[in-house]
Amino acid sequence: MAEVLDLTISELRELLDSGDISAQELTGLYLERIASVDEKVKAYVTITEKEARDQAREADRKIKEGSASPLTGIPLGIKDVICTEGIPTTCSSKMLKDFRPPFNATVMEKLEAQCAVMLGKLNMDEFAMGSSTENSAFFSTRNPWDLERIPGGSSGGSAAAVAARMCVASLGSDTGGSIRQPASHCGVVGLKPTYGLVSRFGLVAFASSLDQIGPLTRSVEDAAILLEAIAGHDERDSTSLPRPVPRLRKSCQEGLKGIRVGIPKEYFIEGVQEKVVSEIKKGLKAMEEMGAELVDISLPHTEYAIATYYIIATAEASSNLSRYDGVKYGFRAENYSNLMEMYKETRAQGFGPEVKRRIMLGTYCLSAGYYDAFYKKASQVRTLIIEDFKKAFGKCDVIASPVAPTTAFKIGEKVHDPLQMYLSDIFTIPVNLAGIPGMSVPCGFDRKGLPVGLQLMAGHLQEEILFRAAYNLERGLGLERKWPSLN
């Protein structure tokens, strides 16, 4: 039955509904797979075997009675930054190691309502800060295509688990590229939706004006299924948009004729790996052959995006992470003689080095006398970046670019050089600053056999056209479906 593990959500739906396989059998296969390969990949922080088997039994009952939804009985993995009632939600931090939320995130409620199966919680960079999953307080996740390499981050566990076939699909979160970059490095599809399309209620906050939850999947169609399931207005998130759920699977069916694909000159620069560029060009050619028109565009403020992001994201993080004080949540230091010392010791012991670096940077940017020079300036540059995209989308319908300048790097290669690590986010960060949707679509492999992703971006709430372009690109490339065996 090994090949069952290769199937997509839409393919499994048919098998489940026709009774060729039960949700309990499918869940059992995935649990076996986790037991046999997660030792090597280390994607899961928590495996929820008992809950998964119970959910699968319930799913089988629903399927039998003929009331299955698109995700009924589909085994999924969830990034450990999304609150799951009664189940540890650690953010891969010592601070929340024993935290069991008393409530479910909105996205979890939506998945449960469809009777999807949750196999467990997936490893990440601590509090979603990082690009390699090496900042997890527990262990590093490995890239299933080459175990010596990083899977990307911060949703490294979510991407690795899908590629290693330890879940059919997963949820991640993306503040500056954390879904798209690991998706690209692991050869899966990863989507960051328009800001406000998916509720952030129950997503542990990193940078509230940038964070979004989104799917990591084996196909563009699966990303559409998962996004349709989790999108929608939610009163419990004040930034949630009062919009109907987009009809993505329908728009996938339309062709590429007449679609204008913008190629930003600032994204094809020196320093981008040669094979990344050549694989992306193949993708562009495939789109052109299907009737798309390629147009040159410019996003002139791209070079300021990283500086802008590392002011805004750290400022918001310093405020959001002030709640971890040893009183309200999680970890508390043991030896202290007064309240102030308790706070200090708790935060000194509970947070890892990258999280501390960001809290200090953010606190500095927000402090009296520096606010105007840093935070206010960054907000103004953010507006310029938004304007860049608005202008560009006057000339094109979607924008195509690399996801990351290189394919997956070696574990340990950049971990002691934060600036190098930050630079690898150059092509994903502008999308978060502008609040628009972006998707990583697998488009080839480098000479070492490591996956390369192509990023597609679209205007605010233009998910339908984004999916249309992505679905056709996937088909046009006709990449043979292959996955790392790990045996």
DSSP 103-154: S--HHHHHHHHTT-EEEEEE--SGGG--SSSTT-SS----BTTBTTB---SS
**Min CB(354)–ligand GLN separation in Å:** 8
Whose CA is closest to 134, among 375, 344, 413, 331?
Answer: 413
Closer to ligand GLN by CB, 211 or 388: give it: 211
Q: Cα dist. 434→41, 431, 437 in Å?
A: 34, 5, 9
User: To 5 degrees, how large is the angle CA 11–CA 13–CA 15?
Assistant: 75
Q: Which residue has the tokens 């995700």?
A: 71
Helical segments of 239-304, H only = 248-252, 274-289
State the sign of the Cα–Cα–Cα–Cα dihedral 285, 290, 291, 293.
Answer: negative
Closer to ligand GLN by CB, 63 or 315: give it: 315
Closer to ligand GLN by CB, 175 or 407: give it: 175
**Min CB(349)–ligand GLN separation in Å:** 22
Tell me the residue nearest to ligand GLN as measured from the CB.
178
**Min CB(250)–ligand GLN separation in Å:** 30
**Min CB(179)–ligand GLN separation in Å:** 7
Closer to ligand GLN by CB, 299 or 305: give it: 305
**Min CB(173)–ligand GLN separation in Å:** 6
Whose CA is closest to 163, among 122, 130, 192, 204?
Answer: 122
Helices 377-392/305-320 angle, 10° precision: 130
**Min CB(247)–ligand GLN separation in Å:** 27
Catalytic residues: 79, 154, 178
| Residue 444 and residue 283 in contact, taking contact as beta carbons nearer than 8 Å | yes
Strand partners, 118: 76
Query: Under the rule (CB under 6 A), what is the footprint of ligand GLN?
Result: 128-131, 154, 174-178, 206, 313, 425
User: To 5 degrees, how large is the angle CA 163–CA 480–CA 156?
Assistant: 15
Closer to ligand GLN by CB, 125 or 237: give it: 125
Closer to ligand GLN by CB, 91 or 252: give it: 91
Residue 199's Cβ-count burial label (10 Å; 0-12, 13-18, 19+) is buried
List the structure tokens of 459.
């205007």
